[in-house]
């Protein structure tokens, strides 16, 4: 029975409807052009960009509307050299802390990494698979590993 846990998506997250988010009045750097676009609206639905329009968009029912006030939106960044378990934990602490504490510190750093704009990371060594599964299942907020 214990072996089946690996095939059960070990932590099935309850499906909770995420409200749509509409960013209005944003400056957009899309990475395709050297210049930014002013006065852009970006609609995010189910965690994915659904629409990008010059000007305004109508907000879907129940959407969160954010006036960006001309602030710049950029695509998610990729950190090509990241350590899931060592990104924020000093080595002396890593050598003495309980394994569960190390995982909790790593989960907190994964969320901070996502909030800094890195939506994807390449783990450069270490036990990344438990963290990857926790992020993929929605139990931990963090970048795609």
Which DSSP state fits 17?
Answer: P
* Number of domains the chain is built from: 2
pLDDT-derived band of residue 4, with 50, 70 and 90 as boundaries?
very low
- Per-residue pLDDT band at 125 (split at 50, 70, 90): confident
3-state DSSP assignment of residue 139: coil
Q: Which domain holds residue 92?
A: 77-136
* Token duo for residue 122: 């390449």
Which residue is associated with the tokens 């783990």?
123
- Region of 39 (left: φ > 0; alpha: ψ -120 to 50; beta: rest) is left
Q: Which of 54, 73, 92 is the last residue of a domain?
A: 73
Determine the Cα–Cα distance for residues 66 and 18; give it in Å rounded to an integer. Answer: 15
66 with 109, same domain: the answer is no
Same domain assignment for residues 30 and 57: yes
**68 and 111 co-located in one domain:** no
Counting residues of the chain whose pLDDT is more than 90, the rounded percentage is 64
Domain membership of residue 103 (yes or no) is yes
Average pLDDT over residues 47-70: 94
Q: Which residue has the higher pLDDT, 46 or 120?
A: 120
Q: What does pTM read for this prediction? A: 0.69
């Amino acid at each position: 029975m214990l072996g089946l846990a690996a095939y059960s998506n070990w932590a099935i997250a309850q499906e909770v409807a995420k409200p749509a988010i509409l960013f209005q009045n944003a400056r957009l750097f899309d990475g395709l052009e050297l210049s930014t676009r002013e006065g852009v609206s970006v609609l995010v639905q189910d965690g994915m960009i659904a629409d990008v329009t010059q000007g305004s968009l109508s907000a879907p029912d129940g959407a969160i509307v954010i006036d960006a006030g001309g602030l710049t939106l950029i695509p998610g960044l990729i950190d090509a050299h990241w350590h899931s378990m060592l990104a924020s934990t000093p080595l002396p602490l890593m050598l003495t802390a309980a394994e569960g504490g190390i995982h909790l510190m790593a989960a907190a750093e994964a969320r901070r990494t996502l909030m800094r704009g890195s939506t994807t990371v390449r783990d450069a060594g270490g036990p990344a698979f438990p963290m990857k599964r926790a992020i993929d299942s929605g139990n931990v907020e963090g970048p795609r590993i």
